[in-house]
Structure 1
Amino acid sequence: MGSDTDFTGKRVLVVGGSSGIGNGIAHAFLERGALVHVWGTRDSAADYDPADGSDLNGLGYTQVDVGNPEAIAAAPDPFADGALDVLVLSQGAVVYRRGEFERDGWDKVMAVNLDSVMDCARKFRAALAATQGSIIVVSSISGLKANIGNPAYAASKAGAISLTKTLGQAFAADGIRVNGLAPGLVDTKLTKVTTQHPDRLAGAIAAIPQRRMGTPADMAGAAIFLASPLASYVTGHTLVVDGGLSL
């Protein structure tokens, strides 16, 4: 393992790191020597089911409802010394059955997928400035196109991509690099509406040039790169990681 991807002793917080893409990213940093803490929605780490793609072994855990800005503000520092080197914002919500066309569904998705990104970045800006750290915003290729039935999801992810650019510019003076990654179809609990229906899944995979879904490990590789010295001159950029789906 090259030194450029050695995170030994680095402190990493993965918001939304209790399952799916965030969990894969959390373990990628852990495997490279980092101290990793995750935020999730359930009372404790023991409340997560490994069958849902949750592995909290070796990870610190705090319950934080990021849809509530007061909860973000009140959340304790993830590490006792208050320091932080990498902030990964992988929180996500979606409402199916056209629920995002209604105000409650719209507000829920926007609060988690967009508002909380800004709230978390604001909360940890000083800590990241002190370590010359980085932020990684997990958006989606849905932010680059229409998403049938999910207007809030698409709009929130487009907003996250734009916010990554603006924060990249604004935080650069603090020595903080802000970048993002935009996944395509990844097998997580949020995509079960597709992955658990064979005909729908077959159609989705047929549209992907690489002819497979992405994995949390695929997303983790991009996150490791963006947080590493290999990306030291990359700022405000969202890396599309979708097997060619958006081409």
Structure 2
Amino acid sequence: MTDPLDFTGKTVVVIGGTSGIGNGIARGFLARGASVHVTGTRASATEYSADEGSDLEGLIFHQLDVSKRGAVDALPDVVGEPDVLVLSQGIVRYGGQEFAQDGWDDVVGVNLNSVMDCARAFHSGLADRGGSVIIVSSVAAFKSAMGNPAYAASKAGAASLVKSLGEAWARDGVRVNGIAPGLVPTKLTAVTTENDKRREASLRSIPLRRMGTPEDMAGAALFLASPLASYVVGQTLTVDGGLTLS
């Protein structure tokens, strides 16, 4: 029997795949046989280190700054037609910066505008391959994030985009779904995960009593991209250890 989670011979592109959740997802597909391309803003793969949660061994790196509109347009010509596109880019601004216009624009530009830019750029190739898109949002899409209005609004927009693209692109043979991670230790969540009081308070609100891992998110992505989810369209899978249940 064929393993539905075997991605041998498949091409996967992970935007924002150089660290954190994106890197975990990229390595999950790599372990299952895929050829995996990842993007990051730095000039080369050698500028990333394990100390900051990056493991690029075996991955194909491309420099890309998604905050620059149109920058992604040339990438499909380089990587070819993907079977899976994972959109895992994201930034956050703390200290009230997101209430100001510049902070708001920066966060929405990366977390929402660039998601559509990347999806649009790869749409034709995905349609040719009968491919799958996975948009990584956040549980912040479904609740208040008092100090980070742009982050919450942009992630809510990304989750909504899953529904709209899911319906619009299904007729092209492209399945669009999403993942909404809970608390996962990354550079973006360090303000909580590296603060003892905040971390412990967060853990008490998670029924599983642990933080998530990039590997947990990879499992969800592998499922959504696989034939096991061939009839799943326009859905965002919450992967949070039960955090949002109450």
1:142–1:154 contact (8 Å) kept in structure 2: yes
Q: Residue 226 of structure 1 aligns with which residue? A: 224
Structure 1 length-normalised TM: 0.97
Q: Residue 196 of structure 1 aligns with which residue? A: 194
Q: Residue 61 of structure 2 aligns with which residue? A: 61
SS of structure 2 residue aligned to 1:91: coil
How many Å separate the matches in 1 of 2:147 and 2:14?
A: 28
**Code of the aligned partner of 2:18:** S
**Code of the aligned partner of 1:144:** F
Output aligned runs, 1:150-229, within 5 Å. 150-229=148-227
Count of residues in correspondence between the two structures: 245
How many Å separate the matches in 2 of 1:43 and 1:140?
A: 28
How many Å separate the matches in 2 of 1:94 and 1:43?
A: 22
C-alpha distance after superposition, 1:164-222 (max 9, x if no partner): 00000010011000000000000111110011111110001111111000000000000
Question: Gaps (5+ residues) in structure 1?
Answer: none
Using the aligned pairs only, state the percent identity: 63
TM-fit CA distance, 1:227: 0.1
Q: Residue 27 of structure 2 aligns with which residue? A: 27
Question: Gaps (5+ residues) in structure 2?
Answer: none
How many Å separate the matches in 2 of 1:83 and 1:95?
A: 34
Q: Residue 42 of structure 2 aligns with which residue? A: 42
**Code of the aligned partner of 1:54:** S
1:11–1:34 contact (8 Å) kept in structure 2: yes
**Code of the aligned partner of 1:46:** T
1:205–1:212 contact (8 Å) kept in structure 2: yes
2:203–2:211 contact (8 Å) kept in structure 1: yes
Structure 2 length-normalised TM: 0.98
2:15–2:22 contact (8 Å) kept in structure 1: yes
2:81–2:122 contact (8 Å) kept in structure 1: no
How many Å separate the matches in 2 of 1:48 and 1:77?
A: 25
How many Å separate the matches in 1 of 2:161 and 2:110?
A: 14
TM-fit CA distance, 1:78: 4.3
TM-fit CA distance, 1:70: 2.0
Q: Residue 3 of structure 2 aligns with which residue? A: 3
Q: Residue 235 of structure 2 aligns with which residue? A: 237
Q: Residue 129 of structure 1 aligns with which residue? A: 127
Output aligned runs, 1:36-115, within 5 Å. 36-75=36-75, 77-79=77-79, 82-115=80-113
1:37–1:78 contact (8 Å) kept in structure 2: no
**Code of the aligned partner of 2:50:** P
How many Å separate the matches in 2 of 1:110 and 1:25?
A: 23
